[in-house]
Amino acid sequence: MMTDAKTLAYINMYAVLGTLENLCELDKEASELVKTKKPVSIGLEVKGGPSATLTFLNGRCRMEQGTADCDFLLPFSTPEKFNAMVDGTGSALPSKGFSKVFFLLKKFIPLTDILSKYLRPTEEDLKDDKFFEISTKLMFYVITVALSQIGNNDEIGKFSASLIPDGIIDVSIKDCVSATIQVKDSHMITIKEKPEAFRSQMQFCDIRTARALFDGKINAIASIGEGKVEMHGLINMIDNVNRILDRVALYLA
């Protein structure tokens, strides 16, 4: 099935680059790299697409929508150019804040390299338990945020989202990591924390199962039968989320 560049730009912005927030929390090297005394903020603006600002302070990273208050701005004239930058096949030049080029080249780009290492790991890397855990948690965040972006932007994803009843879906890896997916009038928002209450829940029984599913090494339906993936509550919410999940794999392939 077709994918579209604009939806991919939303995924790249909020699901992939947005995961820098979590990377800085989970990986010490990443946190050290962006340990600044004064905040530095990078605006990313895609014409006809998403725009967001990443702010770095004290080894932490935070993403907010819009670029109004950024120190320097990376503008992209098309979603394709932005996607190429994220993919490592294109580059970007700041339109303001040239004095921050050092941060861009020496901090931001190496930081995204660390993220790539976790999101596209080698089999060897995954043998390290700590690496495995961080990599899987980051993948979990990328996937759960991408779900909402596809549900809000991709044509087929929007159809799936239109069939999700309003409410909160809890997506979790048991005793590990959770995300809240809020659905209201077919619009989806992912919040990277566990909800207090939910209308439906999809829970992976452990991190190994989650990883195997993310990597396509085990079958999701069989895993439900084996009790490795549990569903509770209003299952038609999860049913339609799973339709979108199919497209997540397509976009992130």
Partner 1 sequence: MSFPVYNTEKSREMFSRATKVIPSGIYGHLGPAEGQFIPVSKWPMFAEKAKGTYVWDVDGNKYIDYMCAYGPNVLGYCDPDVDAAAAKQTALGNCTTQPGKVMVECAELLVDTVATADWAFFAKNGNDATQGAIMCARAYTHRKKVIMFSGYYHGVSPWCQKIDYPGVLPEDVANNIMLPWNDIPLLERTIEENKNEIACLIAQPYDHGNFHDNAFPEEGFWPKVREICTKNDIVLIVDDVRAGFRLDLAGSDHFFGFEADLICFCKALANGYNMSAICGKEFLKGAMSSLAYTGSYWLSAVPFAACIANINKMKALDIPTMFKQKGEKLCNGLVKAGKEHGIDLVVSGAPALFYLRIGNDDSMLLHQEWIAEMVSRGIFLASHHNHFINASLSDKDIKRTIEIGEECFGIVAKNHPELFR
Asked whether the beta carbons of 27 and 134 are under 8 A apart, the reply is yes
Taking only Cα atoms into account, the Rg of the chain, rounded to an integer number of angstroms, comes to: 18
Residue selected from 5, 80, 132, 233 as contacting partner 1 according to rule CB under 8 A: 233
Residue selected from 63, 92, 189, 231 as contacting partner 1 according to rule CB under 8 A: 231
Query: Shortest gap between Cβ of 239 and partner 1 (angstroms)?
Result: 9
CA 149 from chain centre, in angstroms, equals 9
Name the packing angle between helices 207-214 and 129-153 (round to 10°). Answer: 50
Residue selected from 198, 204, 214, 251 as contacting partner 1 according to rule CB under 8 A: 198
Q: Is 105 in the site for partner 1 (CB under 8 A)?
A: no
Q: Is 25 in the site for partner 1 (CB under 8 A)?
A: no
Residue selected from 7, 240, 248, 251 as contacting partner 1 according to rule CB under 8 A: 240
Query: Shortest gap between Cβ of 156 and partner 1 (angstroms)?
Result: 5
Structural tokens at position 178: 């959770």
Q: Reduced to 3 states, what is the DSSP secondary structure of residue 177?
A: strand
Of 101, 120, 136, whose CA–CA distance to 22 is shortest?
136
Query: Shortest gap between Cβ of 241 and partner 1 (angstroms)?
Result: 11
Alpha-carbon distance 38 to 35, whole Å? 9
Alpha-carbon distance 3 to 5, whole Å? 7
Q: Which among 82-90, 92-100, 105-113, 154-162 is the span making contact with partner 1, rule CB under 8 A?
A: 154-162
Q: Is 244 in the site for partner 1 (CB under 8 A)?
A: yes
Q: Which among 50-58, 61-69, 140-148, 238-246 is the span making contact with partner 1, rule CB under 8 A?
A: 238-246
Q: Is 227 in the site for partner 1 (CB under 8 A)?
A: yes
Name 120's Cβ contacts closer than 8 Å, sequence gap at least 6.
Answer: none
Of 16, 58, 30, whose CA–CA distance to 142 is shortest?
16
Query: Shortest gap between Cβ of 244 and partner 1 (angstroms)?
Result: 8
Q: Is 249 in the site for partner 1 (CB under 8 A)?
A: no
Asked whether the beta carbons of 189 and 148 are under 8 A apart, the reply is yes
Q: Is 160 in the site for partner 1 (CB under 8 A)?
A: yes
Nearer to partner 1, 12 or 240 (CB): 240
Asked whether the beta carbons of 152 and 188 are under 8 A apart, the reply is yes
Asked whether the beta carbons of 161 and 186 are under 8 A apart, the reply is yes
Residue selected from 115, 157, 172, 251 as contacting partner 1 according to rule CB under 8 A: 157
Nearer to partner 1, 100 or 243 (CB): 243
Q: Is 204 in the site for partner 1 (CB under 8 A)?
A: no
- Pairing relation of β-strands 51-57 and 167-173? unpaired
Q: Which residues bind partner 1 (CB under 8 A)?
A: 1, 156-157, 159-160, 163, 167, 198-200, 219, 221-222, 224-227, 230-236, 240, 243-244, 246-247
